Chain A
Amino acid sequence: MQTKPHFAFFDEGSKKEIRRATLKAVAIPGYQVPFASREMPIARGWGTGGLQLTLSLIGKKDVLKVIDQGADESVNAVSIKKLVRHTTGVALTDQTAEANIIQSRHRIPEEPLRDDQILVLQVPNPEPLRKVDAREYMTKRMHAEDDYSGAWLILFEQIIKYQKMTTGAAHPVYVNGRYVMAPSPIPRFDNPKMHASDALILLGAGREKKIYAVPPYTKVESLAFEDFPFTKESFQGKQCNLCGAEDVFLDEIINQATGDRIYQCNDTSYCVDRLNHSEEKEVENSYA
């Protein structure tokens, strides 16, 4: 006999604990609030933080979207969706506009988020100062003392070595002018989307047992120097080979046989949406 799981997997005590930490996180933007981080049926470091946030938020009427590296159909996204569906029975969607809770790994959707949506980001390494000091005791102290010289120094060293800032993902940001925060491993391209966002952004790190948040309309600045301003990844002159989108985050795909490079939208639901839309227009305009 299979027993029915409790609604949203957790017992109510666990939810309460996560909820209390989340409320505190929202009240102190960018500060990593420690929480208990329960054992989950997926491995730590694979989205347990995001999943715990989602489960603490979700109710019967919610519509959930989960993306992994911009895709709705990759393994991590599908497994998380299945677990939440199995334990709550909520509706799932691929459409960014239809969802009111969006759990994401590595991307913020291309479509601008609304104020009735909550973005939950999965974070593997929440501590922007971990490279500076391995001890939690010390990094907590640095945050307390507003001592971010280490974070600046990491960027400075990159500039000295490579003449540019080489952060591939998780370029650190200043939140509300006080805390330096790792914005989860999103590309630099997505950093500006966090600034004064309409949607509430919650970040959860399950393995590191931290919850933090960026409330809507909050100042989020990427760390940069006067003579080395912050730059997004540039896709100038390139476009998606499927839908022709420009000014979106593109994946580079190399043809192994010919060595040709093609580019494709990283946000799959955005790409499919555009394709469907252009097809509809084609049908409208044809007189066949």
Chain B
Amino acid sequence: MAIDQVHDLQQVYRNLLDCMARPATIRKVEQTTGLSEEQLPCNEALFLCALTVLDAEVSFCILAVDGKTEKLAEMITSYTLARETSMEQADFIIVLQDAVKDQVHKTLSVCKMGNLINPQQSATWMIEVENLSNNGGLTLHGPGVKQFKQLQTGCSDTFWQTRNRKVKEYPLGIDLIFADQLNQISCVPRTTSVELTEVS
């Protein structure tokens, strides 16, 4: 079944909003794109999130292995009319699982983080991961989290350390959206304090 741009994306948005308001909450996206695995270079949840927020007014940048990058960029552009740009200027940074670690860390340090007058002019990351769970991993505190919550994303410690440096000068920072193979999504906005705990 093909995607319904009106009702399906509304549902995805509500899940996204709920996850952004309640960091570490994991929500399942029930919608399908109607595209087969061969047609889609990333997982479905990630593509649905991209369809929900991207349009001609914003730009994106993809971090993935060669070949996949071009294919996904072409798909996103033809579906949403958003334009591809450099990692320093992109409003949305889309990271696939096979992206080179060094490139991801470099992008984390150079991507947009807003300025004090306009902190909203920052990059939002959409990250494809294997599996999201609330068992162990990171300990999260902050707005939207009652006491504390745990989240496991599969991202490296170096990634989270770089992210923590990037959000140090609040309100500047970046917001992260994770999407996994099981069509689950979760968010970590800039306000969330992320503590790295021992891998259980």
Say whether B5 faces chain A, with CB atoms less than 8 Å apart: yes
Chain A contacts of B35 at CB under 8 A?
Answer: none
Residue among B14, B16, B118, B124 facing the most chain A CB atoms (10 A cut-off): B14
Measured in the bound complex, the distance between the Cα atoms of B16 and A140 in whole Å is 28
With A19-B53, A31-B119: A12-B5 Cβ-Cβ less than 8 Å: yes
Whose C-beta in chain B lies nearest to the C-beta of A118?
B17
Measured in the bound complex, the distance between the Cα atoms of B175 and A218 in whole Å is 17
Residue among B10, B20, B21, B52 facing the most chain A CB atoms (10 A cut-off): B21
Q: Which of A20, A141, A213 contacts B53 (CB 8 A)?
A: A20
Say whether A232 faces chain B, with CB atoms less than 8 Å apart: no
Interface magnitude class on chain A: 35 or more
Measured in the bound complex, the distance between the Cα atoms of B10 and A7 in whole Å is 11
Cβ-defined contact, A7 with B7, below 8 A: yes
Cβ-defined contact, A31 with B52, below 8 A: no
Whose C-beta in chain A lies nearest to the C-beta of B147?
A217
**What does the 1/0 interface line of A3-30 toward B look like (CB < 8 Å)?**
0001110001101110111111111110
Say whether A60 faces chain B, with CB atoms less than 8 Å apart: yes
Within 8 A of B (CB), among A58-113: 58-60
**What does the 1/0 interface line of B96-130 toward A look like (CB < 8 Å)?**
00000000000000000001111110001000000
Say whether B6 faces chain A, with CB atoms less than 8 Å apart: yes
Within 8 A of A (CB), among B8-41: 9-11, 13-14, 16-18, 20-22
Interface of A is mostly: mixed
Say whether A176 faces chain B, with CB atoms less than 8 Å apart: yes
Cβ-defined contact, A16 with B7, below 8 A: no
> Which stretch, B59-67, B68-76, B138-146, B154-162, touches the partner chain A?
B138-146
Say whether A250 faces chain B, with CB atoms less than 8 Å apart: no
Cβ-defined contact, A144 with B116, below 8 A: yes
Cβ-defined contact, B143 with A218, below 8 A: yes
Say whether A33 faces chain B, with CB atoms less than 8 Å apart: yes
List the interface of chain A (C-beta within 8 A of B).
6-8, 12-13, 15-17, 19-29, 31, 33-34, 56-60, 115, 140-141, 144-145, 176, 178-179, 200, 213, 215-219
List the interface of chain B (C-beta within 8 A of A).
5-7, 9-11, 13-14, 16-18, 20-22, 52-58, 115-120, 124, 143-146, 170-171, 175, 189-191
Show 7 residue pairs from A and B whose CB-CB distance is below 8 angstroms, ordered by the A residue: A13-B56, A19-B17, A22-B17, A23-B16, A200-B18, A217-B143, A217-B146
- Closest 9 A-B residue pairs measured CB to CB? A27-B189, A144-B116, A218-B143, A215-B144, A24-B120, A215-B21, A200-B21, A27-B175, A59-B10
